[in-house]
Amino acid sequence: MSQRPPVDRQRIEEFLLHLSQRYSRPARIYLVRGTTMVFEGFRTQTLDIDLAFEVARENHGALIKAIRELKDELSLNVEEASPGDFIPLPSGYQERSQFIGRYNQIDVFHFDLYTMALSKIERGTEEDFSDVLLLLRSECGLKELPAKSLVETNPFLSCVPLLVCRLARVVHK
């Protein structure tokens, strides 16, 4: 990763606006990891913009090209990242993803916070655990983790919701 300035919420919004001007086709962009934490005010900055996206196959190359050009023009680090890089994605994650806004033809969401928390626990860095605790303490609704439904749809996650529930009890004491 290059030595580019850290990213704050204003730079994330600037990136999304420029991307929507550069790429004028339908797409779904999901902010993930530190990008969500900064966008929602849990942190003031992050090293890069982490995102996942869904786009029609024939438009994939054009979106990647636009992102690469903007990385250089805006002096940003932009990484394609998904909780699916760390855990199997539970069913229903798309429906649980929080809508942020529409930038021309690009719909922007926070990746499902439950799935993101589970992937952070699986990855297991100190910063990841800190992020999960911040999400549990917030008003984002993570304290109502649908553990049973997540486990039913993905047996791999059977021990992780218990850990999140225990963390939630510690946080809310």
User: How far apart (Å, rounded) are the C-alpha atoms in residues 167 and 132?
Assistant: 9
Of 43-47, 71-75, 125-129, the least confident: 125-129
SS3 109: strand
pLDDT on residue 60: 97
User: How far apart (Å, rounded) are the C-alpha atoms in residues 166 and 106?
Assistant: 37
Of the two residues 124 and 59, the one the predictor is more confident about is 59
Backbone angles phi, psi at 108, to 5 degrees: -115, 135
pLDDT on residue 109: 97
> What is the pLDDT confidence band of residue 21, given thresholds at 50, 70 and 90?
very high
Which stretch of DSSP H or E encloses residue 149? helix 147-153
Closest CA to 76 of 123, 34, 127: 34
Spatial contact of 38 and 65, defined as CB atoms under 8 Å apart: no
- Tell me what the mean pLDDT of segment 90-109 comes to: 93
pLDDT on residue 115: 87
Q: Count of alpha carbons within 13 Å of 57, Cβ hemisphere only?
A: 0
pLDDT on residue 122: 82
**What is the arrangement of strands in the sheet containing 78-80, beginning at the earlier edge strand?**
78-80, 49-54, 27-31, 106-110, 98-103
**41 CB contacts (<8 Å, ≥6 apart)?**
9
User: How far apart (Å, rounded) are the C-alpha atoms in residues 153 and 171?
Assistant: 27
User: How far apart (Å, rounded) are the C-alpha atoms in residues 70 and 1?
Assistant: 15
Domain boundaries, the chain: 9-112, 116-171
User: How far apart (Å, rounded) are the C-alpha atoms in residues 53 and 141?
Assistant: 24
State the chain's mean pLDDT as an integer.
84
Q: In DSSP terms, which residues pair with 102 in a beta bridge?
A: 107
SS3 82: coil
CA distances from 90 to 22, 25, 98, 148 (A): 32, 28, 16, 12
- Per-residue pLDDT tens digits for 105-122: 999 999 998 888 888 888
